[in-house]
Amino acid sequence: MNRVEPSLIRTEADEVTYHFHVLIRYEIEKALIDGSLETSDIPAKWNELYSKYLGVTPPDDKTGVLQDVHWSHGSFGYFPTYTLGSFYAAQFFHQAQKDLPGLQQQITNGELEDLLHWLREKVHIHGRRYNSEELCERITGQKLDVAYFLEYARQKYAGVYGTAE
């Protein structure tokens, strides 16, 4: 589950290539909305982008463009929220580790009480009072910064692949 390798199915993707699945859908949605892509051209564009970003080509539309239900029920503009969620989570977790010394060991030991308390105090209590950017600034003191996700991924996968951090 921690190996990074291209795949055809977004929901089965690893946490690095997953974001390319999101990008593909975003680019298609954007082109549909701005009129530069016709619906009849979606399967070909899908295959082109999968080849470009992930180096894989779906053998058919079932494992390609038809695999997601989002578009069939009108959910457009939704996919980028998955990527944004990963970016926010990495930045929040970085802050939680600063605020809770020994957090990683607690998690390793299955001790999640301190983290849950931190989440309730910093995130959950606010509900929808703040938008994502405001909440991020309140919790971390800065705007969303993708560097936290990239650092998380670099550290994690250095361990998985036995490479230097």
Q: Which tens digit of pLDDT belongs to each residue from 1-58? A: 578 889 999 989 999 999 999 999 999 999 999 999 999 999 999 999 999 999 999 9
pLDDT band at 83 (very low <50, low <70, confident <90, very high): very high
Cα separation, 149 vs 94, whole angstroms: 9
Torsions phi, psi for 64 (to 5 deg): -110, -115
Give the C-alpha separation, 103 to 106, whole Å.
5
CA distances to 42, 80, 88, 141 from 145, rounded to whole Å, are 32, 15, 8, 11
Predicted confidence at residue 80, as pLDDT, reads 92
- What is the overall mean pLDDT for the chain? 94
Instruction: Tell me which residue of 90, 81, 104 sits closest to 145, measured CA to CA.
Output: 90
Return the half-sphere exposure (C-beta side, CA atoms, 13 A cut-off) of residue 71. 13
Query: What is the helix (H) or strand (E) element at residue 136, kind and residue range?
Result: helix 132-140
What's the angle, vertex CA 14, arms to CA 68 and CA 158, rounded to 5? 165
Per-residue pLDDT at 164:
66
**144 token code pair:** 């969303």
pLDDT at 160 over 90: no
pLDDT band at 157 (very low <50, low <70, confident <90, very high): confident
Residue position matching structure tokens 């463009």: 65
Q: What is the pTM of this model?
A: 0.86
pLDDT more than 90, % of the chain: 79
Closest by alpha carbon to 119, among 139, 145, 148?
139
Q: Which residues contact residue 43 at a Cβ distance below 8 angstroms, ignoring those fewer than 6 apart?
A: 61, 64, 65
Query: Please, which pLDDT band fits residue 161 given cuts at 50, 70 and 90?
Result: confident
CB-based contact 105:163 (threshold 8 Å): no
